[in-house]
Amino acid sequence: QVQLVESGGGVVQPGRSLRLSCEASGYTFSSHGMHWVRQAPGKGLEWVAVIWFDGSYRYYADSVKGRFTVSRDNSRNTVYLQMDSLRAEDTAVYYCARILGTIPDLWGLGTLVTVSS
């Protein structure tokens, strides 16, 4: 079964860190780039970061640049999002999405991150 499963979300205080994971199954993970996209409560979709299939290229939204780091372990079929210096405005459901060609065609169910004191 082709799927993505995110984990690692939770409640964290402002200024603290959290690492999200996204585990892929059912396809050749190492052949595809991955996006992270987030959605604040009641809001639209906001792109966060991208990493190419081999990790050779990474790019971030301005809102998270310098605080978030995307990485991947192709031996574990997993992509990560390390989130440091978290702010209240980072509160959102975080989705990972597979890139097929240039298209984010497969999305996980999401994991909720709440930044609150």
Partner 1 sequence: DIQMTQSPSSLSASVGDRVTITCQASQDISKYLNWFQQKAGTAPKLLIYDASHLRTGVPSRFSGSGSGTDFTFTISSLQPEDVGVYYCQQRDSLSALTFGGGTKVEIK
The residues of the shown chain that bind partner 1, judged by CB under 8 A, are: 33, 35, 37, 44-47, 50, 52, 57, 59, 61, 95, 102-105, 107-110
Task: Give whichever of 14 and 100 is closer to partner 1, judged by the CB atom.
Answer: 100
The CB-of-51 to partner 1 minimum distance in angstroms stands at 9
Are the C-beta atoms of 62 and 47 separated by less than 8 Å?
no
Residue 13: strand, helix, or coil: coil
**Cβ 22 to partner 1 shortest distance, Å:** 12
Nearest residue (CB) to partner 1, 14 versus 78: 78
Classified as helix, coil or strand, 89 is: helix
